[in-house]
Amino acid sequence: MVSGSVAKEYTPVTSQTLPPFDFASTYRDGNPYPSYARYRTQDPVHVLPDDIANGTGAGVRALLFGHTDCMRWLRDQRLGREWHQPDDGQLLPRQRPNPEPDSFGAVANLFMLFRDPPVHTRLRGVANMAFTPRQVEKLRPQIEAMAIELANELRDANGDDVDLIGQFAFPLPMLVIAEMLGIPREDFRKFRSLAGDIAAAIDFPVDGLGEFLARVDQSTKELAGYLRWLIATRRTEPRDDLLSLLIHAEADEGRLSEEELVATCILLLVAGHETTVNLIGNGTLALMRHPDQWRALVAEPGLARNAAEELLRYDAPVQLTARHALEPVEIGGVEIDKGTHVSFVLGSANRDESVFEQADRLDIRRDVGRIMSFGMGIHFCLGAPLARMEGEIAFATLARQFPKLSLVSDKVHWRPGAVFHGLSELPLSLGSPP
Ligand code: HEM
């Protein structure tokens, strides 16, 4: 941790040090950007005092708000994901000693997301082959067909008003990842709440994690149990799906244990939709709030690819990620002790004026440049090519099918949490048919 004395001696890189960053108020209304701007310009390597850092639940100590710092330090292997406490050797965060099999702690311990090399390299190596841009491109016709099917269901469902999250933004990526893994369609709907609980546990607990823990363990066990059953089925009857491919890798080269296989599938299910649903939801909300941009997309749906990239930048589905200092480092004049939990504010880096001109402006035609929405370095999002394509297809489909789409009300409800940034629902009016 940043030691007490270092925290007191901390000399700000600018003339002003701001009050401790307040997670609860920053993320409450879904618009953290004015607060980010203050920290990014006045206190870009912000250190929280002991009491606040401990109160965050995740032990966040230093926050990096600038694009250059985020980019540089996410690539620096002196900051890692695993942190072994000297006293009990347990991994942090969230893992409790001797976790029960299939509990959240046991499964999360095997997520590539939370591991450093060499374990990370092995886990990622196996899944990598399914997510290359070439492999993903092959899914395009299937994803387009799913998007059109969902759009048709939207039109048929509730008359004019629909909830875009429940009826389009959630089912699309969930159908895609479930289909890729080979999970039967009829089973996929039950995962929303299970995967949602696991995502909440990965998320940063704005209002405390305590009440979640028991439920999260239960949800993880349920999902793991289902996957173990499916794995057993695929072992005897392999198919042309990602699950069979991962099982094959396991049998072939002894590279994934069954526990690792289950954990990897759970990570893909959670990461595969908790994020993309928010790209589609946040992106559509931003387009509705900028009618000129929506009209531009409707007039030219071919802009959807660039629009998805700009919307990823403008309102990132993942706002934060974190590392631990594996050795002492100095960031922006601030000494960071070994073990310090450093948070990277990706959503702030995406609004950095030194990198993006008029960064607060939504412009779906801009040459977007290097967004931080998928992270950077060895943990750079495995699913980025897939997510980009899903976003592109979703926005193009909505623009083509529902050119008169509009907000039912400007008051929207954001889900709690700081890492995953998204709406609980988005009521829209489809307008009269084109
Ligand atoms: C818009 C959608 C998405 C966003 C914004 C997003 C964002 C991210 C970010 C920021 C990271 C890096 C976290 C870190 O460095 O600590 C990450 C990692 C990851 N993402 Fe995504 N993601 C998205 C979609 C997907 C999809 C569709 C999949 C898979 C189907 C996926 C699978 C993963 C995996 C497995 C990792 C861990 C990679 C590693 O540790 O090496 N993501 N994602």
Cβ-based burial of 428 (10 A; exposed 0-12, middle 13-18, buried ≥19): buried
* Residue of minimum CA distance from atom 1 in ligand 1: 276
- What span, in angstroms and rounded, lies between the C-alpha atoms of 284 and 405? 10
Q: Please tell me the least confidently modeled range out of 49-53, 54-58, 259-263, 346-350.
A: 54-58
Query: Residue 125: inside a domain, yes or no?
Result: yes
387 lines ligand 1 (CB under 6 A): yes
Is-contact 35 4, C-beta < 8 A?
A: no
- Other Cβ atoms closer than 10 A to 318: 24
Give pLDDT, residue 97: 60
Q: Please tell me the least confidently modeled range out of 69-78, 211-220, 264-273.
A: 211-220
Q: Both tokens of residue 365?
A: 């035609």
**Tokens 């939801």 sit on residue:** 281
Give pLDDT, residue 276: 96
Q: Both tokens of residue 160?
A: 């004019």
Is-contact 423 285, C-beta < 8 A?
A: yes
SS3 content of the chain, % helix, strand, coil (to 5): 50, 10, 40
Query: Residue 38: inside a domain, yes or no?
Result: yes
CA dihedral 65, 69, 75, 76 (to 10 degrees): -110
Q: Write the pLDDT tens digit of every residue in 114-162.
A: 999 988 998 999 888 889 888 899 999 999 999 999 999 999 876 678 9
Q: What mean pLDDT do residues 365-387 have? A: 97
150 lines ligand 1 (CB under 6 A): no
The residue whose CB lies within 8 Å of the most ligand 1 atoms, and thus the one to mutate among 344, 374, 381, 386, is 381
Kind and range of the H or E run holding 141: helix 140-157
Is-contact 263 111, C-beta < 8 A?
A: yes
Is-contact 227 262, C-beta < 8 A?
A: yes
Query: Residue 148: inside a domain, yes or no?
Result: yes
Query: Residue 403: inside a domain, yes or no?
Result: yes
For ligand 1, the distance from its centroid to the CA atom of residue 267, given in whole angstroms, is 9
Give the chain's radius of gyration (CA, Å): 21
Length of the chain measured in residues: 434
pLDDT at 90 over 50: no
For ligand 1, the distance from its centroid to the CA atom of residue 116, given in whole angstroms, is 16
pLDDT at 89 over 80: no
Query: Residue 347: inside a domain, yes or no?
Result: yes
CATH of the domain at 215: 1.10.630.10
Q: Write the pLDDT tens digit of every residue in 155-211.
A: 987 667 899 999 999 999 999 999 999 998 878 777 777 888 888 777 755 444 556
| Number of domains, the chain | 1
The letter for the amino acid at 284 is T
pLDDT at 326 over 80: yes
- What span, in angstroms and rounded, lies between the C-alpha atoms of 336 and 131? 35
Q: Write the pLDDT tens digit of every residue in 327-336.
A: 999 998 888 8
Where is pLDDT greater, at 28 or 355?
Answer: 355
- What span, in angstroms and rounded, lies between the C-alpha atoms of 107 and 227? 12
* Residue of minimum CA distance from atom 38 in ligand 1: 379
For ligand 1, the distance from its centroid to the CA atom of residue 15, given in whole angstroms, is 36
Angle between helices 171-181 and 384-401 (to 10 degrees): 130
373 lines ligand 1 (CB under 6 A): yes
Give pLDDT, residue 108: 87
- What span, in angstroms and rounded, lies between the C-alpha atoms of 48 and 63? 8
Query: Residue 48: inside a domain, yes or no?
Result: yes
Exposure string over 385-395, b if 16+ CB within 10 A, otherwise e: bbbbbbbbbbb
- What span, in angstroms and rounded, lies between the C-alpha atoms of 216 and 219? 5
Which of 428, 326, 401, 414 minimizes the C-alpha distance to 150? 401
Task: Grade residue 76 by pLDDT with cuts at 50, 70 and 90.
Answer: very high
Q: Write the pLDDT tens digit of every residue in 229-245.
A: 999 999 999 998 999 98
Query: Residue 346: inside a domain, yes or no?
Result: yes
Query: Residue 434: inside a domain, yes or no?
Result: no
Residue 129 domain boundaries: 4-429
For ligand 1, the distance from its centroid to the CA atom of residue 99, given in whole angstroms, is 25
